[in-house]
Amino acid sequence: RIKPCRMIELAEHADPRGSLSVVEAGKDIDFEVQRVYYLYNLPMATVRGAHGHRTLQQLVIAVHGQFEITVDDGFRTERYLLDHPRRGLFIGPMTWRNLVNFSPGAVGLVLASEHYDEADYYRDYAEFLRSARAGA
């Protein structure tokens, strides 16, 4: 399995009024959240992500609908299905990720450990592979 990635089960507080799930920094995730962004209006055939990060840690949640995330550490790939708002995929540093197969109306919420910094991105897969395989 790809070491820096794991599915995290979140608390779900369900009662007759509906359901509430929660992510607490320091409990459910090991990083402080510096940034939140979300993906929506997604064409079904779209591919999001398609990059890696040098240091960024993220938790991705399908808050509505479902989609899949393939993660790649330069040696192996794995595919995770996100199909419930009480589940999140933690993606650690040096992981190439593709978000695919969005259901109609799906919304993806991302909690990130750092502010946006283009210098933290690998946008080129060959460059990512070289670094990942060199243990960078």
Q: How far apart are CA 47 and CA 98, in angstroms?
A: 6
Q: What is the DSSP code string of 68-122?
A: EEEEE-SS-EEEEEE--TTEEEEE-SS-EEEEE-PPTT-EEEEEESS---GGGEE
Active-site annotation holds for 51: yes
Looking at 12, 116, 124, 136, which residue binds ligand TYD (CB under 6 A)?
Answer: 116
Among the residue ranges 6-14, 15-23, 45-53, 64-72, the one whose residues contact ligand TYD (CB under 6 A): 45-53
- Residue 35 near ligand TYD by CB under 6 A: yes
Residues 95-114 binding ligand TYD (CB under 6 A) are none
Minimal distance, residue 104 CB to ligand TYD, in Å: 18
- Catalytic pick among 13, 51, 84, 115: 51
- Nearer CB in complex with ligand TYD: 17/57: 57
48 near ligand TYD, rule: CB under 6 A:
yes
Residues of this chain that interact with ligand TYD (CB under 6 A) are 35, 37, 39, 48-49, 51, 116
